[in-house]
Structure formats: structure tokens, C-alpha cells
Amino acid sequence: GENVEQHPSTLSVQEGDSAVIKCTYSDSASNYFPWYKQELGKGPQLIIDIRSNVGEKKDQRIAVTLNKTAKHFSLHITETQPEDSAVYFCAAGSNFGNEKLTFGTGTRLTIIP
Amino acid sequence: DTAVSQTPKYLVTQMGNDKSIKCEQNLGHDTMYWYKQDSKKFLKIMFSYNNKELIINETVPNRFSPKSPDKAHLNLHINSLELGDSAVYFCASSTRTGGVGNTEAFFGQGTRLTVV
């Protein structure tokens, strides 16, 4: 089955600086890679996703890159703000088989004012 | 206008009891899920239903039994609760777009289950 590894597990960044979170996956059949943000006491919420036919996607201060050959993808947050503090999860999924999402282990991002 | 709602939000119960968590989505999605998040924040899928049919069962003990009366509801019943069942349980839903699987999953706010 799919295995998703995520690093780092914790990340502290000065407000205004950039944050990068990296994930690797094992199943070459995976072709859908979402990123979720989980705030305290809430459920995960999608912030950006990318499919395997695209190498990079950007939405304002958030960008995701995908390297299918190396089987890794990354989340980039620029000009970080205190409200970016949360736990971030990457995930990998496929259109084939049972189409489930396998999540990474999460990164606790803290933005220091 | 909550998209995915689950009840209760908190559940404290004794070992050996049977309890249920309810989930409803008003997004018109055809697929619903139960995820378990442990104390280390690991998110692991338990079950997935598509149009009321079970499509994923991730080696969850048979003390856990999902029930989908219609495609807008997916309830989780747990028999003979154990200490290790303590976790946050999330319900989620999604839909297929143009026959392509894996679109955005919308999560409920979670149910924190504590077994004492």
C-alpha cells in the first residue's frame, strides 16, 4: 500500500519568512496530492491540491510542487502570518483501486510574531 | 449551513460500553469516510462508503460497525469500547468529478472519544 512520509514534524518560522514542508510517497500509481490545514479543535481543511499532470500550482501565498520521478512533493508558504500557525498534512491518493487518501504524519507550524 | 456535521463533539464513556457517533453531510456528495486521529495526530482511514456501499475497510476491529442509511449519513457504532479506542474520530465526504476519483474531502469537526 501507499506510504507517505512528511518532514519536518515541527517547524517554527519568523513572521514574514517562508515555510517549506516536504513529503515523499511510495506508490507510483498515486496521482492526487492534497494539502490540509488543521487548526486547533477543528477538522482538516483543504488548502491546495495538485494532480500528477502538473508540476507546480500556486494560490496566493501558497504553492505546491510535485516531482513524480522522485516521488516527492512540497508545500511552500510565503510571507507567513500568525494565522498560518496550524498542523499541516500532506496526502496521496489515486484514481485507481479504492481511491483512498493516505496522509502524512503532519507538521506543526508555528509562526513567531 | 454546516457541510459535514457529526455528533457528539465530545464523548466520555467507560470501558465495555457501546456507543455511536453520527455524521451527516448536506453537500450532495456520494462518498463518506471515517478517519481516526490518535494522540500523535496521525490520521488513518477506517472506512469509506460510496452510495451506501462499503468500499474501504482498513482492517478495523469488527467492534466498529459503520452504517449508512442513505448517502447523506454515515454513522459509526462501536461495541465493547477499549482504552485504545480513545482518539478523535473524523467524518468526511467527497464526490467524484467526471468519473475521476479523489476530489476534495470535507471534514467534520471531529468527535473526541475518551474511554475511561
One-letter amino acid identity for B7? T
Q: What digits encode the pLDDT tens for the residues A27-65?
A: 998 888 999 999 999 999 999 999 888 899 999 999 999
Residue-averaged pLDDT of chain A: 93
Q: Which residues of A touch B58 (CB under 8 A)?
A: 100
Q: Which of B102, B103, B109, B112 to mutate to test the interface with A (most CBs of A within 10 A)?
A: B102
Contact B110 A42 (CB under 8 A): yes
Here the cell at position B6 is: 457529526
Q: Which residues of chain B have pLDDT under 70?
A: 1, 96-102
Mean pLDDT of A6-27: 97
Contact A99 B109 (CB under 8 A): no
Closest CB to B102 among A43, A44, A99 = A99
Q: What digits encode the pLDDT tens for the residues B8-33?
A: 999 999 999 999 999 999 999 888 99
At A98 the pLDDT is 55
